[in-house]
Structure 1
């Protein structure tokens, strides 16, 4: 999983995630963001790192049920409920 440093280093909650076809055998295709990253931020590869699923689920347990979803799919945290809802991309 490719995860934004806003989540893993800055300790922001996960706000948005999507899954695309994986790049290689070591890639699940998941991309996980806080949701406030700018386009300029997202274009800098050093602002992201690879993590295994257990590390992400430890930080955000509610993702456990989402991570088995097939690609392509995207989820966003609902500001009112805090739950993740599937969105059209």
Structure 2
């Protein structure tokens, strides 16, 4: 199950500013306005980097959640009295 491609609308404000900064740096490096292909290439590289970072964070979160999940005690045996009220159902 692959995650859908990240769009600029899905980015946080800080990430959008970083993308704009990268585009400005590329424009200054070329000494002219960027073509659509050049702009899209910069955006694609940045979005790929962001998606990889988010995937790593998601894996860490899943691993932590799995580690903190309830695990029944394997040493104890099943006991009906532990799972039912001594007064019975009302």
Superposed pair shares fold, TM > 0.5: no
- For normalisation by structure 2, the TM-score amounts to 0.19
Higher relative contact order (CA 8 A, sep 6+): 1
| Greater strand share, structure number | 1
Q: Which has the higher helix share?
A: 2
Task: With the length of structure 1 as denominator, give the TM-score of the two structures.
Answer: 0.19
Q: Greater Rg, structure 1 or structure 2?
A: 2
